[in-house]
């Protein structure tokens, strides 16, 4: 097995096991070619508390052959010029959120390298494109790649290509390339499987409706979560909006994610709130009758009742057979000083 990092840094933020879940707000092409809308998507990610906001960058001529004219037209209208991404990066810097992008072709990748982005994302569409993956890995930055449409052995081949380039800082995101992905096809068990099989940091790139499935992914150990965001719904000839959070629910999603994250911690000691509950919710031994000073207390004289401020019922054998040191009223909590 190749040795991959269990922790690495993205733009000063630690990612991996023992670190907070890294939440990527995937803006993708939800700007639909409108740069001003791209700034609003960044604002949405910032206000919701995402770790990073990610776009998709491509050159239609470098990405799609002339055999797919419909897709060339569809994506061409949703692209931004390269220089716009430099402005978006600067805006993110001013807003205090990490910017990066998925490059879908070699010219776009080289442009991102010129921007000196702190991490590279490789989309699921690069399945089998190991030369491209090696090139990304060789750029000396952490690499995140999604595994939609991959077979398990192809994940191994991709990781081998990354390792061959000498890059141990990689996160593997389980992903299903279907918009929307039905819950029955989400396959969240793959998060643990990828971790066990390959030893790299694992996460989840979500394409389900709502956000309950990626929350479950956090509970199952995902250390990186990618969720699409949008400002627009019911967009013709588009699919990302079907699996996106927006202004009404992105903040709730991230808040609940952080709640689940802290709830997953293990502990042995009682928490403050539970220690307080122990007083009123647990029980103490009380007499079922009035007991006079000097009387021998029998087990049949005792019962366990709230509150838990006296002798617990688990120690009844230490009380039965002893004499009362004072009068003990029926139903009053027995304490050790009441016993002779």
> How do residues 277-331 score in pLDDT, each as one tens digit?
888 999 999 999 999 999 999 999 999 999 999 999 999 999 999 999 999 999 9
Mean pLDDT of 150-162: 97
219-257: burial string, b at 16+ Cβ within 10 Å, e else: ebbbbbbbbbbbbeeeeeebebbbbbbbeeebeebbebb
Query: Helix or strand or coil: residue 49?
Result: coil
- Cα distances (Å, whole numbers) of residue 297 to 240, 284, 312, 338: 74, 15, 16, 11
Out of 204, 230, 263, pick the residue that ends a domain: 263
For residues 239-260, average pLDDT = 98
Counted domains in the chain: 2
pLDDT of residue 215: 98
Q: Is the pLDDT of residue 76 over 90?
A: no
Domain boundary among 263, 282, 300: 263
Please tell me which residue, 68 or 41, carries the higher pLDDT value.
41
CA 63 to CA 37: how far, in whole Å?
Answer: 24
**Long-range Cβ contacts of 313-320 (<8 Å, 24+ apart):** 313/283, 313/284, 313/285, 315/285, 316/285, 319/285
Rg (CA), the chain: 29
Peptide bond between residue 180 and the one before it cis (omega within 30 degrees of 0)? yes
Instruction: For helices 130-137 and 152-164, give the axis angle rounded to 10 degrees.
Output: 40
Residue 2 falls inside a structural domain: no
Whether 209 and 190 have beta carbons less than 8 Å apart is answered as no
Say yes or no to pLDDT of 34 above 90: yes
63 has pLDDT over 80: yes
- pLDDT bucket at 275, cuts 50 / 70 / 90: confident
CATH code of 318's domain:
3.90.1210.10
Asked whether the predicted pLDDT for residue 28 surpasses 70, the reply is yes
Express as a percent the part of the chain with pLDDT over 70: 100
Distance from C-alpha of 189 to C-alpha of 186, rounded to nearest angstrom: 9
* Assigned domain for 60 exists: yes
For residues 70 and 174, state if they share a domain.
yes
Residue 2 confidence (pLDDT): 79
- Cis link prior to 307 (omega < 30° from 0)? yes
**Alpha helical stretches, state H, 116-208:** 130-137, 152-164, 189-198
CATH number at residue 210: 3.20.20.70
164 plus 280 within the same structural domain? no
Q: Cα(312)–Cα(284) distance, rounded to whole angstroms?
A: 5
User: Rounded mean pLDDT of 116-134?
Assistant: 97
- One domain, residues 230 and 279: no
Q: Are residues 318 and 222 in the same domain?
A: no
With a cut of 80, say whether residue 272 has pLDDT above it. Answer: no
pLDDT at residue 78 above 90?
no
Question: Does residue 322 share a domain with residue 234?
Answer: no
Is the pLDDT at 16 greater than 90? The verdict is yes
Same domain, 257 and 278: no
If asked whether residues 252 and 296 sit together in one domain, one would say no
Residues 253 and 278 in one domain: no
In a domain, 43, yes or no: yes
Q: Give the whole-number percent of the chain exceeding pLDDT 90.
A: 88
Three-class secondary structure of residue 328 per DSSP:
strand
Please check whether residues 40 and 101 belong to one and the same domain: yes
Domain of residue 44, residue span: 7-263
Q: Where are the beta strands (DSSP E) in 196-330?
A: 201-205, 224-229, 244-245, 284-287, 302-305
- The answer to whether residues 188 and 290 belong to one domain is no
Angstrom distance (rounded) from CA 59 to CA 79: 8
Q: Residue 1 — very low, low, confident or very high, per pLDDT cuts 50/70/90?
A: low
Q: Domain for residue 155, yes or no?
A: yes
- How far apart, in whole angstroms, are the C-alpha atoms of residue 194 and residue 208? 20
Q: Which tokens belong to 50?
A: 């995402």
**Nearest CA-CA partner of 179 in 128, 232, 225, 244:** 244
Question: What does the pLDDT read at residue 184?
Answer: 98
Could you tell me if 217 and 313 lie in one domain? no
**Domain limit, last residue, from 212, 246, 263:** 263
Residues 152 and 255 in one domain: yes
pLDDT band at 193 (very low <50, low <70, confident <90, very high): very high
Phi-psi region of 7 (alpha: psi -120 to 50; beta: other; left: phi over 0): beta
Residue 73 has pLDDT above 70, yes or no: yes
Please report whether residue 1 resides in a domain: no
Residue 67: inside a domain: yes
Strand ranges in the chain using DSSP code E only, listed in sequence order? 7-10, 13-16, 22-28, 52-57, 98-103, 120-122, 143-146, 170-175, 201-205, 224-229, 244-245, 284-287, 302-305
């Amino acid at each position: 097995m190749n040795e991959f990092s269990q922790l690495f840094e993205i733009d000063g933020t630690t990612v991996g096991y023992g670190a907070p879940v890294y939440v990527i707000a995937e803006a993708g092409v939800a700007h639909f070619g409108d740069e001003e809308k791209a700034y609003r998507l960044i604002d949405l990610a910032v206000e919701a508390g995402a770790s990073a906001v990610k776009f998709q960058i491509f050159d239609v001529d470098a990405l799609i052959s002339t055999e797919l004219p419909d897709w060339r037209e569809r994506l061409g209208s949703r692209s931004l010029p390269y220089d716009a991404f430099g402005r978006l990066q600067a805006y993110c810097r001013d807003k205090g959120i990490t910017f990066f992008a998925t490059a879908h072709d070699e010219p776009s990748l080289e442009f991102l390298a010129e921007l000196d982005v702190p991490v590279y994302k490789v989309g699921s569409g690069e399945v089998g494109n190991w030369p491209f993956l090696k090139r990304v890995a060789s750029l000396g930055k952490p690499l995140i790649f999604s595994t939609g449409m991959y077979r398990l052995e192809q994940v191994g081949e991709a990781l081998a290509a990354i390792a061959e380039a000498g890059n141990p800082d990689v996160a593997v995101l389980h992903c299903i390339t279907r918009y929307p992905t039905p819950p029955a096809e989400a396959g969240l068990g793959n998060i643990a499987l990828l971790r066990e099989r390959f030893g790299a940091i694992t996460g989840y790139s979500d394409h389900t409706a709502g956000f309950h499935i990626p929350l479950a992914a956090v509970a199952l150990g995902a250390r990186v979560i990618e969720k699409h965001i949008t400002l627009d719904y019911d967009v013709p000839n588009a699919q990302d909006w079907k699996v996106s959070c927006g202004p009404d629910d992105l903040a709730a999603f991230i808040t609940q994610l952080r709640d689940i994250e802290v709830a997953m911690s293990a502990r042995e000691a009682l928490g403050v709130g539970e220690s307080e509950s122990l007083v009123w919710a647990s029980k103490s031994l009380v007499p079922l009758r009035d007991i006079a000073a000097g009387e021998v207390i029998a087990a049949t004289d005792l019962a366990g009742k709230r509150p838990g401020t006296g002798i617990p019922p688990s120690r009844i054998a230490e009380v039965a057979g002893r004499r009362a040191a004072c009068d003990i009223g029926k139903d009053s909590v027995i304490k050790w000083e009441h016993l002779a």
